[in-house]
Amino acid sequence: MKNKTRLNGNTILLLITIVLFIVLYAGGCIAYGSKGFTHTQTFLNILITNAGLICVTCGLTVVMLTAGIDISVGALIAMDCMILAVGMRSGLNAIVMVLIVLVIGVAFGLFQGFLVGYLEIQPFIVTMAGMFFCRGMTAVICTEQVSITEQTSALFYKWANTKITLPFGGYLNNKGKYLAPYVRPGVIVALLLLIVTFIMLRHTKLGRSFYAIGGNAASAAMMGLNVKKVKLCAYMLSSIFCSIGAICYCLNTMAGSVSQALGLEMDAISSSVIGGTLLTGGVGNVIGSFFGVLINGTISSIVKTNGKLASSWPNILTAALLFLFIVIQSVFAMMRNRKK
């Protein structure tokens, strides 16, 4: 049978997000074309800067689909980065440190997921405790900023400075030299994770279970789904994705510090919401969340390119966008209810 999908509210929300991104980006190109905004590299830089955030947002979208929330991610990134930096300073191999960070992600996620799923504690409280714990542990490990240099880990340094050039989209600079556009390894990791999450959500039992539980947990239980286990999985995925994100993040900052990634959980939540994920669960997908991240990134990029606007402007614009999206979502929800 041929699948013909009528345009429902959720698809429209996703379309609005994509159109908004295109409009914003085109606006940037028109206004700051002379400052190089039109170069492919400008777009790629948004991806490079936000590779970590993309990973975190994927995980957070999964949690939000189950009508939960995870505000521990920013602090977990700080802790992961600190562990990476301190570990490598003490001479441990970069690969070993990456594995350690991933194991920490699994363990931390299992613990939070157990509390939320099996002990049925409010996810906000559980992950808030997780947030304080991680931020505190970061300071316990080291209160100063620890940098990762070529001396501490040559391998990690090499990863961070690898340029993966693209075969198109280059331009000649004013000295007539050809500059090929490039991305960093973190971008590849983030995009792979995005694709994996997309397929997982759409085509696996576990993925569909996240939607079912977010739609109506009681019904899902009646239909024989193991709600507790599925919730545990959601928080575990969030922490694992966050740890993967932490590695990407660290490749950009090359340091561990207590105040790193402050408020990043809010960036991830706002990206998900702008991408069409409902806080009430059951609706959303990672493609939308990805565009949510891009929109936030574009705003920052425009403000940076302008050079005169205060750095607080991205926050205000994000606030306006969030507000706009919440209003649009409510309007759709109201229209749906009226139809019945």
Give the binding range for other proteins (CB under 8 A) out of 2-10, 85-93, 184-192, 312-320: 2-10
Residue 229 in contact with other proteins, rule: CB under 8 A:
no
Nearest one of 52, 153, 149 to 96, comparing CA atoms: 153
- 46 C-beta neighbours (distance < 10 Å), count: 21
Compare residues 103 and 195 and give the one whose CB is closer to other proteins.
Answer: 195
Distances from the Cα of 254 to the Cαs of 85, 86, 154, 248, in angstroms?
8, 11, 12, 10
Judge whether 46 and 185 are in contact, CB under 8 Å: no
Residues counted in the chain: 340
Judge whether 57 and 290 are in contact, CB under 8 Å: yes
Contact residue for other proteins among 35, 158, 163, 336 (CB under 8 A): 336
| Cα–Cα distance for residue pair 7/191, rounded to 1 Å | 27
Q: Which residue has the tokens 């059951």?
A: 282
Judge whether 198 and 213 are in contact, CB under 8 Å: no
Site map (CB under 8 A) of other proteins, residues 265-304, x = contact: -----------------xx---------------------
Give the binding range for other proteins (CB under 8 A) out of 34-42, 102-110, 222-230, 290-298: 222-230
Q: Which residue has the tokens 């607080």?
A: 312
Residue 158 in contact with other proteins, rule: CB under 8 A:
no
Residue 169 in contact with other proteins, rule: CB under 8 A:
no
Residue 220 in contact with other proteins, rule: CB under 8 A:
yes
Contact residue for other proteins among 64, 76, 134, 212 (CB under 8 A): 212
Compare residues 76 and 212 and give the one whose CB is closer to other proteins.
Answer: 212
Give the binding range for other proteins (CB under 8 A) out of 170-178, 213-221, 232-240, 286-294: 213-221
Residue 225 in contact with other proteins, rule: CB under 8 A:
yes
| Cα–Cα distance for residue pair 23/95, rounded to 1 Å | 41
Residues making contact with other proteins (CB under 8 A): 1, 3, 5-6, 8, 199, 203-205, 208-209, 211-212, 214-216, 218-220, 222-225, 282-283, 336, 340
